[in-house]
Amino acid sequence: MKELAKTYDPSEIEDRTYAKWMGRKYFHPDVDRSKKPFTIVMPPPNITGKLHMGHALDNTLQDILIRYKRMQGYNALWIPGTDHASISTEVKVINKLKEEGIDKNDLGREGFLKRTWEWREEYGRTIVDQLKKIGSSCDWDRERFTMDEGCSEAVLEVFTRLYEKGYIYKGSRIINWCPVCQTSISDAEVEHEEQAGHFWHINYPIADGSGYVEIATTRPETLLGDTAVAVNPDDERYTNLVGKMLKLPLTDREIPVVADPYVDKEFGTGCVKITPAHDPNDFEVGRRHNLPEINIMNDDATINCPGSKYDGMDRYEARKAMVADLEAQGLLVKVEEHVHNVGTHDRCGTTVEPMIKQQWFVKMEEMAKPAIEAIKNGDLTFVPERFDKTYLHWLENIRDWCISRQLWWGHRIPAYYCDECGETVVSKTAPTVCPKCGCTHLTQDPDTLDTWFSSALWPFSTLGWPKNTEELDYFYPTDVLVTGYDIIFFWVIRMVFSGYEQTGKCPFHHVLIHGLVRDSLGRKMSKSLGNGIDPLEIIDKYGADALRLTLVTGNAPGNDMRFYMERVEASRNFANKVWNASRFIMMNMEKAEIPDEIDLSTLTAADKWILSKVNSLAKEITANMDNFDLGIAVQKIYDFIWEEFCDWYIEMVKPRLWNDEDETKGAALWTLKNVLINALKMLHPYMPFITEEIFCNLSDEESIMISSWPEYKEEWNFEAEENAIETIKEAVRGIRTVRTSMNVPNSKKATVYVVSENARIREIFEHGKVFFAALGFASEVIVQADKTGIADDAVSALLPEAAIYMPLQELVDIEKEKERLHKEEKRLEGELNRVNGMLNNEKFVSRAPEAKIQEERAKLEKYTQMMSQVKERLAQLGE
């Protein structure tokens, strides 16, 4: 048997171990019909990204599940990959070109794409290498990219299918527009942040001169695009206004008053300006009332209103000018402070402009139906279940999906326009002739598809769809999707409806939702706050296992967690504990012959107790992991290894290992080895590197990750022995409490009497004398039925059916202890006089800071309690 290094050094172990796993193809499962498959597809990180704590958590959870299922005998496949990230990648490349003095447009589309592919080859694999550092056991042989040949074919197939079905169309609707990046963006790329703003109350004159209608708006510049004012049809205040015309301020136009239930009559004035081209809700109102749609903004967020003084002004410059003009005309009623949510582009931070534009859209109403039914019939389950409501709410209120982007990097829309007659042809390959007029000159649509369009196909495109591959048939549908709650709407839902539409199946059975990793103050980690923590720096200092354990300990599905460096250090300490305990066991393995199999009847009560404990643990942990309670499971493993195994059992068996005459040494070593191996196996999904290193030095098997998961064995269930050892542990805890209260050092041994009228209890302590004496710091253990022969001054600890006694004379030198206690009594009298003097001083109490007063009151409470304990001890000693 090999010997472990004296100290645990993750930097020496981790890269070497990962290379071994990769070299032996442990992560790569072939299709094997004799095994049940278990599949996870990795949410593809952006090629522009670097590993952050969110990635580390997300991939650690996936790795735990895949390692667990692999050990259970499943043919476990975890498919990795990366996303082309249209906007962020294009921005990165544009900025790099600027550094070289090159403009994107000077290169032209083909030249720019060539440079982008070069950038991807140089920088796009950074995050993949970083994912390996945390131990991700993905099948890297099957790594995919959203713009690789297969995924691109899937995108073209889906687009053409949906177009032919009438689900994809080109039309004018409200989209999110980024004036800086000059493209439409998805809801997923809009971050809502609270900003201080205003409510401008403006009077719109009634055209017949009978008065005014007061509206309130947060964006007065959009007034130029108003085409109506709406009121609630049930609002009696405005019934007589419906159908009347209003003079639109700052213009020469008139607009009608319409009645629509969209208006909340309790909010604001109950009158709402309707700007169909610049607000999604107004757009729907406008369609219901056949209102004109007037886009008053250019792509760069300047005003587009020819003939107006505001034409060409920046949107915020125009706002100031218009408010000033309204005030000058007496139409500005008042301005109120108002905090509201403002959408910003997550890539550049620019305030997004809702704008009507001609774009490509996907009709969502029909495709949403099977996705809704999936959650209702149980085909899809969320963990935790509360996210069902979020999922259903979004689907039941879904709008058509804008899928076109004004970018060059991405999947180009496969739509071609005839230069002669304008006919639109959608085709996976470029058509050579117009089917309508025969013209041979066709131009492809310049736009690319929303990145989410390709990632919506990820669970099946990664397995070869639209080809009917063997992998697709065997590994699909996948089993679990692990993702954060922040993208549940945008990605999860799109994968579900795409899966049903293209394959007829839900793409995964379960969605495990995790929260965000926040800093120690509970703040979201961000560049602006400068509070991000680099996972790779943690790995360099503490090891990947310590990082992984920290991320999962205390983690509950759907809940955010706080990241503390103290917890990382605690995780590293646990790794050291496991290492040192394993090293101790292995160093003692030569002390007796260890059989492969053992007659369980030859085990001692302590052996049976720990064996029964690890057996029950396997049952509990399996149930926890099957229910995705990964944080609960690892806490149980942690507690078992640290407390039950290391702090109790190893200490129990030391006297047997060190006694050359003890004939149970072989049983102790067999138990130590088997319990450690089972504990390591349960710990492996969480801490793969350290468990592999120990296991491969302890066992004849080649790797822990392809060993079998521990299963509950009825023959390892020793309830009586468990109860017996728990009784002894309770006695030991009682002894330690008494000794601690009397400041008795561990080196000071004393006779321990166990008194019980219950013969079963006495038998337990008789059989456990060897380790009970060691754990209870006893010079001798005497078990008897009554108090005969026990000194009156003996101190005691009580158990339910027994009492433990220790002669006081053997624990302390009574005269020295009295002297020490009198000194402590005098010291405490001085402290109490000082504190009481301060707190009874009216000047101090009236002038001192509240924190200082509270500090002194806490001291008073502490010293009073200490004095009470000293007097109690003196009374015990006859003073």
Q: What is the pLDDT of residues 760-782, one digit of tens each?
A: 999 999 988 988 999 999 999 99
Structure tokens belonging to residue 874: 């003196």
Q: Whose structure tokens read 């070109």? A: 97
pLDDT value of position 867: 87
Report the distance separating Cα 53 and Cα 41, nearest Å: 19
- Dihedral sign, CA of 303, 304, 306, 312? positive
Structural fold of domain 722-802: hypothetical protein PF0899 fold (3.30.2320)
Report which of 735, 868, 865 is spatially closest to residue 807, judged by C-alpha positions: 735
Cα of 528 vs its chain's centroid, Å: 21
pLDDT value of position 1: 59
Structural fold of domain 183-354: Isoleucyl-tRNA Synthetase; domain 2 (3.90.740)
pLDDT at 873 over 80: no
pTM (two decimals)? 0.85
pLDDT at 457 over 90: yes
Binding-site annotation, residues: 527
Q: Structurally, what CATH architecture does the domain formed by 541-552+563-697 represent?
A: Orthogonal Bundle (1.10)
Q: What is the CA radius of gyration of the chain?
A: 37
pLDDT at 879 over 80: no
pLDDT in tens, 548-563: 999 999 888 989 889 9
Mean pLDDT of 174-199: 81
pLDDT value of position 369: 96
In contact, 817 and 856? CB cutoff 8 Å:
no
pLDDT at 512 over 90: yes
Mean pLDDT of 75-98: 93
pLDDT in tens, 200-244: 999 999 999 999 999 999 899 999 999 999 999 999 899 999 999
Report which of 532, 517, 218, 173 is spatially closest to residue 362, judged by C-alpha positions: 173
Mean pLDDT of 472-500: 92
Binding-site annotation, residues for ATP: 527
pLDDT at 69 over 90: yes
Cα of 97 vs its chain's centroid, Å: 36
Structure tokens belonging to residue 604: 């001692």
Give percent above pLDDT 70 in the chain: 99
| DSSP, residue by residue, 522-547 | SPBP-TTTT----HHHHHHHH-HHHH
φ/ψ of 678, rounded to 5, equals -65, -40
Q: Where are the domains of the chain?
A: 183-354, 541-552+563-697, 722-802, 815-876
pLDDT value of position 227: 96
In contact, 177 and 299? CB cutoff 8 Å:
yes
Structure tokens belonging to residue 505: 């199946």
Please determine, looking at this structure, whether the domain spanning 815-876 carries the CATH number 1.10.287: yes
Higher per-residue pLDDT: 821 or 33: 33
In contact, 483 and 516? CB cutoff 8 Å:
no
pLDDT at 877 over 80: no
pLDDT at 332 over 90: yes
Q: Which residues contact 362 (CB under 8 A, 6 or more apart)?
A: 162, 167, 168, 400, 401, 403
3-state secondary structure of 8: coil
pLDDT value of position 642: 97
pLDDT value of position 878: 72
Mean pLDDT of 90-110: 92
Least confident among 204-218, 312-326, 343-357, 693-707: 343-357
pLDDT value of position 451: 92
pLDDT in tens, 721-738: 999 999 999 999 999 988
Mean pLDDT of 827-847: 91
Report the distance separating Cα 445 and Cα 165, nearest Å: 20
Least confident among 333-347, 362-376, 526-540: 333-347
At 192, the pLDDT band (50, 70, 90 cuts) reads: confident
In contact, 725 and 733? CB cutoff 8 Å:
no
- By CB atoms closer than 10 A (0-12, 13-18, 19+), residue 266 is exposed
Mean model confidence pLDDT for the chain = 92
